[in-house]
C-alpha cells in the first residue's frame, strides 16, 4: 500500500491524558447475554500506559490503518486489541464502541487517542484466562474424564454457543488436532494454541 | 467414544459452563487470528518496502550514470564505459534492422527437440509452444528471432491506445503482472482457456523480470498476438525496459538461456518493448494500463506520442534537431553539441565531482530529470524546478532555434505522461505527489481519479504494478482496480494471483488462484510463518549490510558508550538508517534475538554472530567488504552495463575503471592498491578478465550458526538493494 507520506502520525511525545476522575474500570460483562448493558464512560477511564507501551500500541494501530488517516474502522478495534495480546469478546468491544450498528462497524472510525481508553478498559478487566482456565473450560466437554473431548462435539459447541464461529474458522482451529478416533487431547491442544 | 446416554442432560446441566467455555475458546481463537494477521501485514510491509526501495536504487543509479554522461567529455573512458546504454538504437531503417536480426543463417541442429515454427504462425503452433514450455523445452534462437521480428512488425502497426469492445457478448479477460512466472500463466490458461476468437485477452505489462521464465512468457504472448491480432492486446509495463532488466534478472535470463544469440535477442526486445502499446480502452469506458495516472495525464497526448522513442522510460529521448531531418529518428548521444564555454571535465576531475553537492543526483527522482532537457536558460522550464546541474556550468547550449523551446516543453510533457502511466501508484489521500518511494511516477488520490474518469468519460481504471495479497484490490470508491497475476510473488504462500473478466455489462468478475500444489497443504499459520521467516531473513541481511551506519546511529543514543540502548532509541536509530517505515518495535525480537539487559538492547552482540563470506577476504578491509555487500546489486548492474557485449565477463581494466566510477557514486576513497588487491582475489585464473557471476557469488552473507540458504533470486545475487547514501555519515 502507498506509504502514508502525507499524513504524519502525531508527535511521539503524546502523553496519556491524566484524568482526575476516579478510575472506573468497566465491570467485566457476563458471558451470558444481558438484557440491558450500561454504557461505558470512556472519558472516565484513566489511561496508565508507559510511553514505551504507547509506542508499541501506536505501531500496531498503524499496521491496521489501511486508509492512512491515522484511524481504524470500528470493526478492526477488537482485532487490534487481540493482536496486542488482549482477549476481549466481541460483545465487550461493542460496548466500548457504544453498541454500534452493523453499518457503523464498517463506516465509523476511531483515532488512536480514542482507542487507548478502550484498550485500557479491556486491560483492566479481570477477565483474564490462562492455561488452567482453558483446560478447565475444555474439561467441561470431557464426558469420560479421560483428558479428551470429541472433536465433533467441540465443533457443535463452537458453532452454536457463545460468540459463534464459522465452519471455516473451526476447521482452521481444529486442523491436525483430532486423532484417528476424532478425539482431541485438550491439554495438548491448549499448549499448542498458546504456543503461537 | 464418550457417547453416554445422559450426554444431553449433562450438557443442559452445565450449559452455563459450556457457554463460558465456548466463549473462552472463541476469544482465544480470534486473538490467534488477529495476531496472525498482524504478522502477515508486517511481513508484507517488509517485502514491499524492500522491493520499492530497490526500484528507487535502480533509478538513482541510472540518474547517476546520466549525470556522468552529461558531465564527462565525450572522449573520456568513463563515458565510453557506459555510454552505450544511453545510446538510442542505432540503425533506423527497417531493412537494416531486418538484416541485423537476420535469423536465416542460424541453423537448427538435428538434435534439437523443441518446437519448430513456420510463419505465418498458426494457432496449433502457438498452443504447441505452450505445451513445449510446460514440458520445459526451450525454443531455438532461430525461431525466437523470427518470432520477434514478426512481432515487431505487428506491434508497429498498433496505436498507442488499443480500443476494443465486448461486442458479440464476448467477455474480455484481463491479466496483471506475470513477472516471468510461467506457472501462473499456465494456470490462467488452464482455468480460462487460451486466447482465441471467442476469448480475447489483455495483458497488462510486467511480463518479465524476477521470475525465471520471462522469455517463455514473452514468446507465448507474442505467438498469440500474431495468431489473434484482434483478440490479444499487450500493454507495456515499467519492466518492459532494458535498463530495469539489467537489474531484475531478465537480461541475465536471456543471456544464460541463449548464449550465442542472447545479445541480439535482447537488442531486438529493446525495440519491441518500445513498440508495445501504452494502454487499452474497453467499450470506451474501461481504461487498462500498467501503473496509473497523475493529475496531468491526458489520453489525447498519450495517443499522439511517438511511443517508440521511449526505449527506456527512465530516460527522456534526445532532442530532435530541426535541422536533422536526415538523421535517424533516434539520434546518438555523441552528437551532442558542446558549448565551447562549457568546462570540460577530464578524468582527473573525479575530484571535481566530489565537491559537487551530495544531492546533485542521489536525491533526484525521475521527475527532476525534466531539467536535463533545458535548452535555454531563459526558458520557463528553468523555474519549474531548480536544476542543480547548472551549478558551475553553463547550461549546455545546443544549436536550437527558439521555436524549439516549445517543442522541448512537449517532449517533457510526453515523457512525464509515459512515466506516470508506467510507474504511478494510487494513494488514499486526495491530491497528486511524486512517487519518491519508487523514484518515478506519482501517487494519485481519489479526487484525481474522479476528475480523470469524468474528463475522459470513463467509468473504471484497471491497473497492475502492485502486488496484492488477494491478487486484486479495489480502491477509490471501486473506480480503480489493481490486478496482479503473479501468485507467491514474494515467497511461497505470500499472495494469490487474479485475473478479471469483463462482459458487455462491464462488471468486473474476479478470479483468484495460487500456483503451487504445496500451498494447499500449508495451513494459514504455516504459510504465514514461512513467508514471515523469509521476510525476516531478507531484512536481517539488509540490516547487516548497514552495520556501520547502524552502529553509528546507535552510538548517537549511547553517549556513555555502554553498548546498550533502550527500545525506543533502537527503533529510531534503525529507521533513520534503513528508511523502510516498518514497525521496528514489533519486529525487534525477531531481528535481534539477544537477551536484553534490563530492557536495554546490546547492539554489538548481534552483529558478532554474522559474518560476510568473502573470497580469501582476510587482507581486504572489512568496511570495504561491507560496502561491497551492501551495494552488490548496484555493482552487478554496473558490471552488466560495462559488459557491453553481454558476455558475462569484464576486463581487469574495465573493472578498475568501474571501481573509479563507483567510488565517485559512493563517495568513498578507494586507492589503486585496494583495487589491485580486489582484482587479485577475484581473477582466480589470472586471465585478465572477471566473471561477473563468480564475483557476485563470492559475496554472500553467512550465519556462523546456521548457513543461510540461497533465497529467491529477487533477494540474493540480483537482490534489491538500498543505496542510502543520503544517510551515510562517513561522507
For chain B, say whether A134 makes contact (Cβ under 8 Å): yes
Closest Cβ opposite residue B427 in set A2, A78, A162: A2
Residue closest to B437 by CA, chosen among B445, B427, B447, B449:
B427
End-to-end CA separation in angstroms for chain A: 27
Inter-chain touch B427–A162, beta carbons under 8 Å: no
In terms of DSSP H, where are the helices of B331-465? Answer: 350-355, 381-384, 404-423, 446-455
Quick one: DSSP state of residue B196? B
pLDDT above 90 coverage of chain B, percent: 33
The C-alpha cell at A179 is 486423532
Is the complex ipTM more than 0.85? Answer: no
Which is more confidently placed, B351 or B315?
Answer: B315
Quick one: DSSP state of residue B482? E
Report the alpha-carbon distance of residue B154 to residue B224 in Å, rounded.
12
**Predicted structure pTM score:** 0.71
For chain B, say whether A72 makes contact (Cβ under 8 Å): no
Query: Which residues of B are less than 8 Å from A157 in CB distance?
Result: 18, 21-22
Residues 6+ apart with CB under 8 A from B309: B88, B274, B317, B329, B330
Inter-chain touch A144–B1, beta carbons under 8 Å: yes
Report the alpha-carbon distance of residue B678 to residue B707 in Å, rounded.
25
Burial class (CB in 10 A: 0-12, 13-18, 19+), B201: buried
Query: Which residues of B are less than 8 Å from A169 in CB distance?
Result: 29, 33
Q: What is the pLDDT of residues B367-378, one digit of tens each?
A: 443 333 333 333
Mean pLDDT lowest for which of B109-123, B184-198, B308-322, B613-627?
A: B613-627
Mean pLDDT lowest for which of A66-75, B295-304, B617-626?
A: B617-626
Per-residue confidence (pLDDT) for residue B317, from 0 to 100: 67
Query: What number of other Cβ atoms are within 10 A of residue B79's Cβ?
Result: 21
Closest Cβ opposite residue B21 in set A140, A150, A182: A140
Residue A121, min C-alpha distance to chain B (Å): 17
Residue closest to B201 by CA, chosen among A86, B588, B178:
B178
Report the alpha-carbon distance of residue A86 to residue A78 in Å, rounded.
9
Mean pLDDT lowest for which of B300-314, B512-526, B657-671?
A: B512-526
φ, ψ of residue B564 to 5 degrees: the values are -125, 145
For chain B, say whether A138 makes contact (Cβ under 8 Å): yes
Question: Does the annotation mark B239 as catalytic?
Answer: yes
Residue closest to B350 by CA, chosen among B666, B660, B726, B67:
B660
The mean pLDDT of B435-458, rounded to a whole number, is: 92
Residue of B7, B17, B30, B35 to mutate when probing chain A, most A C-beta within 10 A: B30
Per-residue confidence (pLDDT) for residue B163, from 0 to 100: 93
Strands B201-203 and B172-175: parallel
The mean pLDDT of B5-30, rounded to a whole number, is: 69
- Considering B233, B239, B290, B456, which one is annotated as catalytic? B239
Mean pLDDT lowest for which of A20-29, B204-213, B310-319, B470-479?
A: A20-29
Q: With 60 as the cut, is the pLDDT of residue B380 above it?
A: no
Q: Give yes or no for a contact between B103 and B142, defined as CB atoms under 8 angstroms apart.
A: yes
Residue A21, min C-alpha distance to chain B (Å): 31
Residues 6+ apart with CB under 8 A from B352: B345
Q: How confident is the model at residue B82 (pLDDT cuts 50, 70, 90)?
A: low
Inter-chain touch B16–A165, beta carbons under 8 Å: no
List the Cα angle A185/A191/A195 in 5-degree steps: 145
Inter-chain touch A83–B425, beta carbons under 8 Å: no
Mean pLDDT lowest for which of A179-188, B224-233, B517-526?
A: B517-526
Query: Which residues of B are less than 8 Å from A68 in CB distance?
Result: 427-429
Residue closest to B574 by CA, chosen among B542, B598, B596:
B542
For chain B, say whether A9 makes contact (Cβ under 8 Å): no
Residue of B6, B12, B22, B522 to mutate when probing chain A, most A C-beta within 10 A: B22
Q: Give yes or no for a contact between B438 and B56, defined as CB atoms under 8 angstroms apart.
A: yes
Q: What is the mean pLDDT of chain B?
A: 75
Q: What is the pLDDT of residues B679-689, one digit of tens each?
A: 776 666 677 77
Q: Give yes or no for a contact between B726 and B358, defined as CB atoms under 8 angstroms apart.
A: yes
Query: Which residues of B are less than 8 Å from A192 in CB distance?
Result: none
What stretches of A45-120 adopt beta strand conformation (E)?
Answer: 71-73, 109-111
Which is more confidently placed, A112 or B338?
Answer: A112
Mean pLDDT lowest for which of B46-55, B411-420, B645-654, B722-731?
A: B722-731
Per-residue confidence (pLDDT) for residue B594, from 0 to 100: 62
End-to-end CA separation in angstroms for chain B: 74
Question: % helix / strand / coil in chain A, to the nearest 5?
Answer: 45, 5, 50
Inter-chain touch A133–B24, beta carbons under 8 Å: yes
The C-alpha cell at B716 is 540474493
Query: Which residues of B are less than 8 Å from A65 in CB distance?
Result: none
For chain B, say whether A93 makes contact (Cβ under 8 Å): no
Q: With 50 as the cut, is the pLDDT of residue B5 above it?
A: no
Inter-chain touch B27–A181, beta carbons under 8 Å: no
Residue closest to B71 by CA, chosen among B360, B408, B449, B431:
B360
For chain B, say whether A63 makes contact (Cβ under 8 Å): yes
Give the torsion sign (CA, B49, B664, B245, B539).
negative
The mean pLDDT of A60-83, rounded to a whole number, is: 86
Q: What is the pLDDT of residues B171-213, one digit of tens each?
A: 999 999 999 999 999 999 999 999 999 899 999 999 999 999 9
CA dihedral B714, B81, B356, B439 (to 10 degrees): -30
Which is more confidently placed, B480 or A140?
Answer: B480
Amino acid at each position: 500500500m502507498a506509504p502514508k507520506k502525507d499524513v504524519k502520525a502525531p508527535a511521539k511525545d503524546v502523553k496519556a491524558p491524566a484524568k482526575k476522575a476516579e478510575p472506573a474500570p468497566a465491570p467485566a460483562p457476563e458471558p451470558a447475554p444481558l438484557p440491558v448493558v450500561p454504557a461505558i464512560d470512556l472519558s472516565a477511564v484513566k489511561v496508565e500506559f508507559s510511553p514505551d507501551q504507547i509506542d508499541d500500541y501506536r505501531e500496531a494501530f498503524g499496521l491496521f490503518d489501511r486508509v492512512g488517516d491515522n484511524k481504524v474502522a470500528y470493526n478492526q478495534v477488537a482485532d487490534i486489541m487481540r493482536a496486542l495480546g488482549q482477549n476481549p469478546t466481541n460483545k465487550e468491544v461493542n460496548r466500548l464502541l457504544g453498541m454500534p450498528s452493523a453499518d457503523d462497524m464498517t463506516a465509523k472510525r476511531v483515532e488512536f487517542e480514542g482507542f487507548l481508553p478502550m484498550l485500557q478498559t479491556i486491560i483492566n478487566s479481570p477477565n483474564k484466562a490462562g492455561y488452567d482456565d482453558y483446560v478447565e473450560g475444555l474439561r467441561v466437554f470431557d464426558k469420560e474424564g479421560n483428558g479428551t473431548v470429541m472433536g465433533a462435539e467441540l465443533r457443535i459447541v463452537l458453532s452454536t454457543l457463545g460468540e459463534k464461529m464459522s465452519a471455516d474458522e473451526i476447521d482452521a482451529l481444529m486442523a491436525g488436532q483430532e486423532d484417528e478416533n476424532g478425539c482431541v487431547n485438550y491439554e495438548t491442544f491448549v499448549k499448542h494454541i498458546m504456543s503461537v | 467414544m464418550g457417547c453416554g446416554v445422559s450426554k444431553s442432560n449433562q450438557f443442559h446441566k452445565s450449559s452455563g459452563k459450556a457457554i463460558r467455555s465456548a466463549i473462552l475458546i472463541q476469544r482465544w481463537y480470534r486473538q490467534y487470528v488477529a495476531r496472525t494477521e498482524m504478522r502477515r501485514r508486517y511481513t508484507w510491509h517488509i517485502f514491499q518496502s524492500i522491493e520499492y526501495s530497490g526500484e528507487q536504487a535502480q533509478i538513482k543509479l541510472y540518474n547517476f550514470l546520466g549525470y556522468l554522461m552529461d558531465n564527462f567529455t565525450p572522449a573520456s573512458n568513463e563515458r565510453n564505459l557506459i555510454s552505450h546504454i544511453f545510446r538510442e538504437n542505432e540503425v533506423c531503417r527497417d531493412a537494416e534492422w531486418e538484416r541485423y536480426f537476420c535469423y536465416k543463417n542460424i541453423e537448427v541442429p538435428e538434435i534439437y527437440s523443441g518446437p519448430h515454427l513456420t510463419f505465418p504462425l498458426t494457432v496449433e503452433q502457438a498452443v504447441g509452444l505452450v505445451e513445449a514450455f510446460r514440458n520445459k523445452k526451450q525454443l531455438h534462437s532461430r525461431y525466437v528471432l523470427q518470432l520477434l521480428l514478426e512481432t515487431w512488425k505487428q506491434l508497429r502497426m498498433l496505436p498507442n491506445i488499443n480500443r476494443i469492445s465486448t461486442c458479440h457478448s464476448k467477455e474480455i479477460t484481463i491479466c496483471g503482472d506475470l513477472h516471468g512466472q510461467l506457472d501462473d500463466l499456465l494456470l490462467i490458461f488452464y482455468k480460462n482457456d487460451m486466447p482465441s476468437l471467442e476469448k480475447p485477452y489483455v495483458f497488462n505489462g510486467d511480463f518479465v523480470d524476477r521470475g525465471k521464465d520471462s522469455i517463455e512468457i514473452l514468446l507465448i504472448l507474442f505467438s498469440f498476438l500474431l495468431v489473434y491480432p484482434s483478440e490479444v492486446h499487450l500493454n507495456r509495463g515499467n519492466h518492459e525496459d532494458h535498463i530495469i532488466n539489467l537489474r531484475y534478472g531478465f537480461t541475465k535470463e536471456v543471456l544464460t538461456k541463449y548464449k550465442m544469440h542472447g545479445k541480439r535477442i535482447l537488442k531486438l526486445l529493446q525495440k519491441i518493448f518500445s513498440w508495445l502499446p501504452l494502454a487499452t480502452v474497453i467499450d470506451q469506458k474501461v481504461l487498462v494500463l500498467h501503473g496509473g495516472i497523475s493529475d496531468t495525464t491526458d489520453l489525447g497526448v498519450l495517443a499522439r506520442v511517438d511511443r517508440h522513442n521511449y526505449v527506456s522510460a527512465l530516460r527522456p529521448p534526445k532532442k530532435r534537431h530541426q535541422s536533422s531531418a536526415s538523421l535517424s529518428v533516434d539520434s546518438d548521444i555523441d552528437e551532442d553539441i558542446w558549448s565551447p564555454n562549457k568546462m570540460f571535465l577530464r578524468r582527473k576531475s573525479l575530484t571535481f565531482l566530489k565537491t559537487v553537492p551530495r544531492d546533485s543526483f542521489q536525491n533526484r527522482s525521475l521527475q527532476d530529470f525534466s531539467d536535463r532537457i533545458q535548452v535555454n536558460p531563459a526558458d520557463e522550464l528553468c523555474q519549474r524546478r531548480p536544476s542543480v546541474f547548472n551549478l558551475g556550468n553553463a547550461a549546455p547550449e545546443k544549436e536550437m532555434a527558439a521555436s524549439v523551446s516549445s517543442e522541448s516543453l512537449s517532449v517533457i510533457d510526453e515523457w512525464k505522461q509515459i512515466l506516470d502511466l508506467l510507474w504511478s501508484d494510487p494513494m488514499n489521500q486526495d491530491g497528486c505527489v511524486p512517487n519518491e518511494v519508487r523514484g518515478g511516477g506519482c501517487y494519485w488520490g481519489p479526487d484525481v481519479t474522479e476528475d480523470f474518469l469524468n474528463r475522459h468519460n470513463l467509468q473504471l481504471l484497471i491497473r497492475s504494478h502492485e502486488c496484492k495479497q488477494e491478487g486484486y484490490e479495489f480502491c477509490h470508491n471501486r473506480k480503480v482496480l489493481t490486478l496482479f497475476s503473479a501468485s507467491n510473488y514474494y515467497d511461497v504462500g505470500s499472495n494469490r494471483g487474479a485475473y478479471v473478466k469483463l462482459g458487455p455489462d462491464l462488471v468486473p468478475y474476479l478470479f483468484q488462484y495460487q500456483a503451487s500444489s504445496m500451498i494447499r497443504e500449508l495451513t494459514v499459520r504455516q504459510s504465514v510463518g514461512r513467508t514471515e521467516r523469509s521476510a525476516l531473513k531478507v531484512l536481517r541481511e539488509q540490516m547487516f549490510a548497514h552495520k556501520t551506519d547502524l552502529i553509528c546511529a546507535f552510538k548517537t543514543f549511547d553517549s556513555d558508550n555502554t553498548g546498550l540502548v533502550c527500545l525506543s532509541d533502537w527503533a529510531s536509530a534503525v529507521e533513520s538508517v534503513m528508511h523502510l517505515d516498518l514497525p521496528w518495535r514489533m519486529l525487534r525480537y525477531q531481528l535481534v534475538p539477544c537477551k536484553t539487559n534490563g530492557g536495554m538492547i546490546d547492539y554489538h552482540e548481534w552483529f558478532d554472530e554474522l559474518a560476510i563470506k568473502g573470497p580469501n577476504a582476510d587482507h581486504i578491509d572489512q568496511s570495504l567488504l561491507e560496502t561491497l555487500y551492501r551495494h552488490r546489486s548496484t555493482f552487478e548492474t554496473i558490471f552488466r552495463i560495462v559488459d557491453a557485449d553481454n558476455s558475462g565477463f569484464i576486463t581487469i581494466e574495465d573493472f578498475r575503471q568501474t571501481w573509479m566510477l563507483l567510488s565517485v557514486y559512493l563517495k568513498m576513497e578507494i586507492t589503486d592498491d585496494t583495487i589491485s588487491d580486489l582484482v587479485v582475489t577475484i581473477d582466480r585464473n589470472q586471465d585478465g578478465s572477471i566473471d561477473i557471476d563468480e564475483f557476485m557469488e563470492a559475496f554472500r552473507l553467512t550465519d556462523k550458526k546456521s548457513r543461510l540458504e540461497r533465497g529467491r533470486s529477487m533477494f540474493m545475487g540480483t537482490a534489491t538493494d538500498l543505496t542510502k547514501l543520503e544517510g551515510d555519515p562517513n561522507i
